Structure 1
Amino acid sequence: MIASKRSPLVLFVHLSVLLLVILWTIPTAGLLISSLRDKDQLAVSGWWTALSTSSQNLTVRAPGPEAQQQRDGKFVISGNALDNPGAKVSAFGFRTQEPAAFEPGQTATLNDGERLTVQEDGTYEIVSDVAMEGSRGQRIFVQAAVPSRFTFDNYREVLNAEGIGASFINSLTVSIPSTIIPILVAAFAAYALAWMPFPGRTVLIAIVVGLLVVPLQMSLIPLLKLYNGVGAFLGVPAKTYVGIWLAHMGFGLPLAIYLLRNYMAGLPREIMESARVDGASDFDIFVKIILPLSFPALASFAIFQFLWTWNDLLVAMVFLGTGNNELVLTGRLVNLLGSRGGNWEILTASAFITIIIPLLVFFSLQRYLVRGLLAGSVKGG
């Protein structure tokens, strides 16, 4: 029996797919690890060092002379230079030029004759033969080996930020209707373009295909002027949820109609003809036959549309506004980053908070994604 040999092309395709998966997975894994790291460690080392001990340079100011205590005829100021459990001092010093001049346990003589001793666990003592004077405490430079530490503090900080809950609800209020409405409208249009012959149908299909390449940025301002003009004529407030729903519907309809029309056109004609022989109307065929059979295409578009509307910031700012009551989640996190100076721990935690809902939607509908994207590539028998 001759063993079958795989084609080199098949092996190349598999390796290419594996490489793409790795290229996409590594940054995401790095972002997740960074979001769970201690913010001090995140500021000084990369995520790939998360499981190893990191070295940190700390500057601590000891309490002033008012904290000194008398022991055995000496005047002592004591404390601990480390606030991270498990950290160990590897070196210390009291001068900026020599921050690591002494090893743990050694005694350094300060400029005023006091003696400074720092132990490996971070405890220190400043001992003087006479009462210490002055207004400020002694600066102590410490090099510490800090073990890896993971925490949910970054997520707590983001989730406890003011207004984050309201913005989460605002994003859901925008995304869910902005996904459902285009599907409903596009399903009717796709059925008509696929199975209902009428004059100009080919032209309409060509227009839909052409609209797929129109950039959002080019059509945003004309659409906004049209919407404001119609709203002023009807006396409707300019920035409402209805406005952003209509905007997302307009931007999403070309892709929705294109996907659904291709899928519906590939359904077996015999099913529709049998239904018409039994007296079913076009509406009955659409509701009872076409929609159930087109669920893969509907789910495929729902994934794209929900991801787009959930992560959108530009359309939401233009059609909904930037007030505290209207701001969506992406806008709230951008403001949070701006007020915190772009801290890495806020950035990484915010990124994963924003993708929780899209991940749930994707994994619940992903089995239909490929079938929906291949719509119309194979005709039914």
Structure 2
Amino acid sequence: MRRALELAARGPLGPNPRVGCVLLAPDGDLPGGGAVLGEGWHRGAGTPHAEVAALADARERGADVRGATAVVTLEPCDHTGRTGPCSAALIEAGVARVVVGVQDPNPVAAGGAGRLRAAGVDVVTGVLPAEGVAALGAWLPAVHRGRPFVTLKIASTLDGRVAAADGTSRWITSDVARRHAHGLRAQVGAIVVGTGTALVDDPSLTARTGDGSLVEQQPLRVVVGHRAVPQGARLRGPGGELLELRTHDPAHVLEVLHAREVRHVLVEGGPTLAAAFLAAGLVDEVHAYVAPVLLGAGAAAVGDLGVTTLAQAVRLVTSDVVPLGPDVLVVGVPAPPGDAPTTVRTSTEEEH
């Protein structure tokens, strides 16, 4: 299963889950099998799923998979979309046992384990489930909630400012923090900003490598609000597709992006948009890049939340603290009402 998880990590981030599969021979000392007959992972929408890729790999090796064990990170699908059901492919190939990491929560694709059992295949579920959930990343909560997973990104001074009184904002955080933030951008399906940020900052909203070049898979660039993006704006330059949404409703934004099969959304600004998503209860995670800088005035990182007393504050449970050169990244998730905030761990930049 750990090998299958390694294979899953090779897959691209996108509308489909990252899945890996290992086929084991029906002999040897290993539980359920011996020698590896084939391996596969899902390479993106429209390509063979991990199980089918592993079966193809086994055929190329000249291996007989009848009676084999398939170890797969996510329950084999049981529906026909761009490709056929993996459950049927495993049954047709004569696989005798299937070991599953995480059961599929998607009602459209789930049911593979049931079909396999009905065909006489031995199915074991819940192997390394925590690792399997981690490998699925934002895809899993997005499927559970029926909307994209939302990360709110903030880059601010120690006193919570995102710009000075004269409007200047480049650069509050260091190049180390900015490189890390580009890594975050490369993991999401869409970056969302308000029209104020688009007009004042003229951002490109691209994901770049350490040398400044564009990564191959660019996120969708989304501007929320009723003002148009100027024709000469950097948002109309190289990068992902530009989508202008004439709305101020965060729920509608997520509905549109869900329909486009976006699983992970990064909300980058500005303060008004951040407050709108927080007030709507539509932020799943906060990434706050904090620089050891004090301004004392200027735009706040988050706009008015309607909070009038400390008891109404939006509190976060800190899941990670990462030093980034002179800056610090604090990662947190909104705390359930009544829960006291806690810190889970501190990691190093190298771990990320």
TM-score range, shorter chain: under 0.3
Q: TM-score normalized by structure 2?
A: 0.24
Q: Report which structure shows greater RCO (CA 8 Å, sep ≥6).
A: 1
Q: TM-score normalized by structure 1?
A: 0.23
In terms of fraction of residues, the more helix-rich structure is 1
